[in-house]
Amino acid sequence: MDLNYSQDESAFRDEVRGWIKQNLPQDLREKIANYDELGREDLLRWHKILAKKGWVAPAWPKEFGGTDWNVVQRYIFEEECGFAGTPPLIPFGLSMCGPVILRFGTPEQKKRFLPDIYNGDVFWCQGYSEPGSGSDLASLKTKAEREGDHYIVNGQKIWTTLGHIADWIFCLVRTDSTLSKRQEGISFLLIDMKTPGITVRPLILMDGGHEVNEVFFDNVKVPVENLIFEEGKGWTVAKYLLGHERMNTGRIGASKRELEKLKEFAARQTGDDGRPLIEDSRFRDRLTRVEVELMALEITNLRFLDQMRRSGQPPGADVSMLKIKGTEIQQALTELSMQAVGPMAQPFKSVANDPDFDEFTAGLAPRYCNFRKTTIYAGSNEIQRNIISKMTLGL
Evaluate whether 120 touches 149 at the Cβ level (below 8 Å): no
Backbone angles phi, psi at 146, to 5 degrees: -80, 130
Pairing of β 150-157 and β 168-174: unpaired
| Cβ atoms of residues 160 and 217 within 8 Å | no
- CA dist., res. 93 & res. 79, Å (int): 20
Q: Smallest Cα–Cα separation from 64: which of 113, 15, 19? A: 113
Strand-pair category, 168-174 with 186-192: antiparallel
- For 299, residues 6+ apart whose C-beta sits below 8 A from its C-beta are 3
CB distance 158 to 130 below 8 Å = yes
Residue among 12, 32, 27, 34 at smallest CA distance from 254: 32
List, as one string, the DSSP characters of 145-175: EEETTEEEEEEEE-S-TTGGG-SEEEEEEES
DSSP structure class, residue 97: I
Pairing of β 186-192 and β 198-204 = unpaired
Give whole-number Cα distances, 369 to 67, 80, 83, 208, 255, in Å: 37, 26, 22, 9, 17
Active site residue 147: no
Of 80, 130, 211, 245, the catalytic one is 245
Please tell me the number of Cα atoms within 13 Å of 282 on its side-chain side. Answer: 3
- In angstroms, how far is CA 24 from the centroid of its own chain? 20
User: 89 by DSSP, 3-state: which?
Assistant: coil
Nearest CA to 379 out of 321, 301, 296 is that of 321
Torsions phi, psi for 242 (to 5 deg): -65, -30
Q: How many helices (H) and strands (E) are present in the chain, helices listed first?
A: 13, 8
Q: Which residues are catalytic?
A: 245
